[in-house]
Amino acid sequence: MCVKGVNRQIIEVVNTENETFEKAILFLRAEKQDRGEEELEREAESYLNGLAVAKPSLRRKKNRWPVLWGIAALLAVGLTVFLIWLL
């Protein structure tokens, strides 16, 4: 992990301990740049660990029933129009 930058400071986390992500780049807020490097590293690790815990809640299950009911209604209307046209 390192803190670098000229106008803006960033923290680059190289060891994310995640099989999907190789590294993470965090941009520091201007008012928080005066903190010590060790404190910033701790906060970065804490933040990334919090993301790992919250990951399953980020995925929302989509409710597919309204879509299925809409398709069924369209099919019913189409079948009705087709049967009326045949008669």
pLDDT digits (tens, 9 = 90+) for 22-40: 888 888 888 877 788 888 8
pLDDT value of position 28: 85
pLDDT of residue 80: 94
Question: Encoding tokens for residue 54?
Answer: 């919250």
pLDDT one-digit tens code per residue, 44-57: 888 887 776 555 55
In our burial notation (b when 16+ CB lie closer than 10 A, e otherwise), range 3-35 reads beeeeebebebeebeeeeeeebebebeeeeeee
pLDDT band at 71 (very low <50, low <70, confident <90, very high): very high
pLDDT value, residue 59: 57
Which pLDDT belongs to residue 37?
80
